[in-house]
Amino acid sequence: MKRLLLILILLLPQLLAAQSADRTAVQSVDRTAVQSVDRTAAQTADRIPANSAGRRTGREYAIETVDRDSLGLDTLRRLDAMGGELMTLRGDGREGSVVLEVAGFGLTLGRAPETDSQADLVMRSGRVKLYFFNSGEFGFTKLVGVDYGGYAPEEKGFLDQKLGNSFHCAASVMQVQVALNKSRTLYFATDLRFAVDNYRLADAGIRLGYEKGRLLPVALDEPADKSKFVTSSLGIPLRLIYKPFKHFQASVIAYSDFGIELTSLHKKPRVEYELSGLRTYQFGVGGTVSYYGIGIFASYGVTPLFKKHAGPECHTFSFGISLLM
């Protein structure tokens, strides 16, 4: 054992020296290869006439430009196969990288500029883009500014809610975006939007009813597990979208919604009642801010939720998470 340790100690300096020599040789080869690629590329570029398509021996040289902030020197590697061109620039096919091929070597320059997802984008012509099912809203909804004028004292408060159980859900079925400037940072957009709002009543012993032309509370025979009313609407919002840099956008929105249905229901057992009194046209304002497709939204109903004299005067306020798909 002592002899073995002595032999290893004597051989260790020689092994370290050999490893250092190998590393130096590899670095020298890499530097020589990079310098050779740079000289060859520069000489080839000098031979191509400026401001021309680069016609030499009947060929045209296609020159592509890539955003500077998307480039990053990566690796230099020997290519197994090489075409007839001395120098070519092509896509790598792996994560959108761009490869410069010179004299049998491939130099990875970086990622090519990203394009819009073909799954969402169905039409793109100049400044106009058409999307299907590209955005959604998920959050909470609340009635604000409730005025019970004209109701008896014992009837007031029947629209009080459980905010944590009152939900808002909306989806953009189709959206058209039009660029307003050459830098493509400002867009005007409009879309077809479907929304559902679920208002959970704080008092599970009543339901919402409609009698003699107005909404009022109706006492249940026994308290239910839950009592609520639901509204649905179809709208055509107008959006002004600002995209100052990649993956970020902020927008201000003017909502034009058309009320479809007002339903009162309670459980258990589940019983539904279709009611009147929902305002046909509802105007609202709101905004969203998102990054990498995830953000927040808030909206406020400027016009009252119910028709005049058909129910308490109140407005809607919704907030939550917005998703861009």
Closest of 161, 187, 165 to residue 176, by C-alpha = 187
For 121-324, which CATH class? mainly beta
Report d(CA 255, CA 258) in Å as an integer: 10
CB count within 10 Å of CB 15 equals 10
User: Does 267 sit behind a cis peptide bond, omega within 30 degrees of 0 on the bond before it?
Assistant: no
Contact 66, 91 (CB under 8 A): no
What's the burial of 225, exposed, middle or buried (CB within 10 Å: 0-12/13-18/19+)?
Answer: exposed
Contact 71, 45 (CB under 8 A): no
pLDDT of residue 89: 62
pLDDT of residue 106: 60
Q: Please report, in tens digits, the pLDDT of each residue of the chain (325 residues total).
A: 444 444 545 444 554 454 455 455 435 544 544 454 455 444 544 454 444 444 444 444 444 444 444 444 444 444 444 455 555 666 655 555 666 665 556 656 554 444 444 334 445 556 899 999 999 999 999 999 999 988 989 889 999 999 999 999 999 999 999 999 999 999 999 999 999 999 999 999 999 999 989 999 999 988 889 999 999 999 999 999 999 999 999 999 999 999 999 999 998 788 999 999 999 999 999 999 999 999 999 999 999 999 999 999 999 999 999 999 7
pLDDT of residue 100: 62
pLDDT of residue 105: 60
> Rounded to an integer, what is the distance from CA 201 to the centroid of its chain?
33
- ∠ CA 126-50-84, nearest 5°, is 85
pTM (2 decimals)? 0.61
pLDDT of residue 58: 45
Domain ranges of the chain: 66-114, 121-324
pLDDT of residue 70: 41
